[in-house]
Amino acid sequence: MTRAVTQNRESPLIIKYIDEQGKFSSVFLGRVSACVPLDGGGRGALAECRSMPVVNVSVVIPAINEQAVLGRAIASAWQATATEVIVADGGSQDETPRIAAALQCRLVTAAAGRAHQQNAGAAVATGDVLLFLHADNCLPETGLAQICEALQDPTTVGGSFRQAISARGARFRLLEWGNGWRARWLGMPYGDQGLFVRRSVFDAVGGFAPVPLMEDVVLMRALRRQGRLAFLPGPLEVDARRWQQAGLVRQTLRNWLLLAAFRLGVSPARLAQFYPRHDRPAVPPTRLER
């Protein structure tokens, strides 16, 4: 069963879900406050949330053939009190557009490629802050409250979240730590770490560069020149499918090599040839690459 949660600051909390037969229904859970306590990560609570300026966050989800995971991503965005959820579809052949429309998202279409799709979503967004959420990621319930708190610092222009990869094992915990270290200390989070940015700053840097790969790296490089990037406790839940399909070692080494090649000047168009889409067959990993 795929669930989605919709709410706004003065409306009831409603769970909408798709059952195994593809039918839609809803359950009323009562009224809730849009100010959610910020727990975890040692960051304290948003006890003063009501006195803070309201931050309207538009969540943009790029998707291509994501019917298996999209509902959970949308649910997490509504539950975190997103102002709006925009699904930017890149030509899905499955139920992705129907799920997005049924779960009260704004659906836009664009050429395939996260840069094109995310720019298309941002173009129709109305929020003061843009949060780009991959379809196989889920926001923590306090995610937007964490953003609200972080942006009280006027020097902060954007940031990302600590990850929680949905797989067991010490190697995945090490991967989470490494990804967090890269985001916190190098100021270089990837797209699967939930990138958020002030709308005014996003527009000032020209949005995502129209490249088939490394669009997240290019954007973060531009944002670092504009101000501070925050690294929030999250955690942002990340589906382990890419590492499981390609093999954790192979996928991690591929990411490192692609980044190194990009820094050496290899074009994103050429690099994209070595980074297959999630919905296309991948070469099974060997035992050593798992």
Check whether 147 has a pLDDT greater than 60.
yes
Give the span between the Cα atoms of 54 and 78, in whole angstroms: 17
Q: Between 3.40.50.720, 3.30.70.240, 3.90.550.10, 3.40.50.300, what CATH number should domain 52-239 receive?
A: 3.90.550.10
Domain with CATH 3.90.550.10 in the chain: 52-239
Q: Are 125 and 86 in contact (CB under 8 A)?
A: yes
Q: How far out from the chain centre does Cα 111 lie?
A: 19
Q: What's the whole-number mean pLDDT along residues 238-265? A: 91
CA-nearest of 106, 154, 162, 158 to 131 is: 158
Check whether 281 has a pLDDT greater than 60.
no
User: The sheet that has 2-6: what strands, in order across it?
Assistant: 2-6, 12-18, 24-31
Q: What are the pLDDT digits (tens) for 3-35? A: 444 444 443 344 454 444 454 444 333 333 333
Q: What's the whole-number mean pLDDT along residues 197-207? A: 98
Check whether 189 has a pLDDT greater than 80.
yes
Task: Give this prediction's pTM.
Answer: 0.80
Q: What are the pLDDT digits (tens) for 40-75? A: 443 443 444 444 566 899 999 999 999 999 999 999
